[in-house]
Amino acid sequence: MSTENDKDPKNKPWQDPADLADGAQGEARGESQEDSYFSEDNDDIYDSIDDDSPEMLVQTLELQVAELRDRELKAQAELENFRRRILRDVDQQLKYAAMPLVTDLLDVLDNLNRAIESATPGSSTEGLVAGVKLVQQQFVNVLSKHHCKQIPGVGMPFDPNVHQAIAQQASGEHPAGSVAVEHSTGYTLHDRVVRPSMVVVSTGPAT
């Protein structure tokens, strides 16, 4: 009489060869699937290693270093240009800082010149005029020492950058287009005009 335990293949002392063959095929199929699974995983890992290989990492880092170095050089160039521009602006401000003072002093110099021109010749005023002339010359020398110089006038070609024409007149002494008469002397501070010379321009000999 057989029992349920006898029907269970695990409890049989022997197994059917067909069952053994089926089991072996199943295990083989399972192992094959596992091998395929691990093989696919290995391929992915190898691909990942290839993508992040040391050579690729080194190349990427070199590109980043080159880009950062280029940015650094550009930043240094911009900083140097900014520094030069600031120094130039400061130099210009210091160079022409005395412009308002010089303008006011020229008015004083003009009054000295008028005093000399209006002085009446005579023995009683000769010493006074000589003293005023000395002061006037010293005044001009001090201005010249500080780079404030007179603009050449009479006989020079008319230059609209430094001369201001107030009239024209015929002149046999000065060629056409040159300064014939200077009514007010102009001055420059360094290379900048403090005030232009007020001049009369010659039209050449009268016809």
pLDDT recorded at residue 11: 47
Q: Is the pLDDT of residue 170 over 70?
A: yes
pLDDT recorded at residue 51: 55
pLDDT recorded at residue 37: 43
Per-residue pLDDT of 36-78, as tens digits, reads 444 454 455 445 445 568 888 888 888 888 899 999 999 999 9
Domain 99-202 in CATH 3.30.300.20? The answer is no
Long-range contacts for 119-126 (Cβ within 8 Å, ≥24 apart)? none
Q: Of all helices (H) and strands (E), which one includes residue 181?
A: strand 179-184
Rounded distance between C-alpha atoms, residue 123 and residue 207, angstroms: 44
The answer for residues whose C-beta is within 8 angstroms of residue 177's C-beta and 6 or more apart is: 157, 158, 201, 202
pLDDT recorded at residue 52: 62
Whether 112 contacts 135, CB under 8 Å: yes
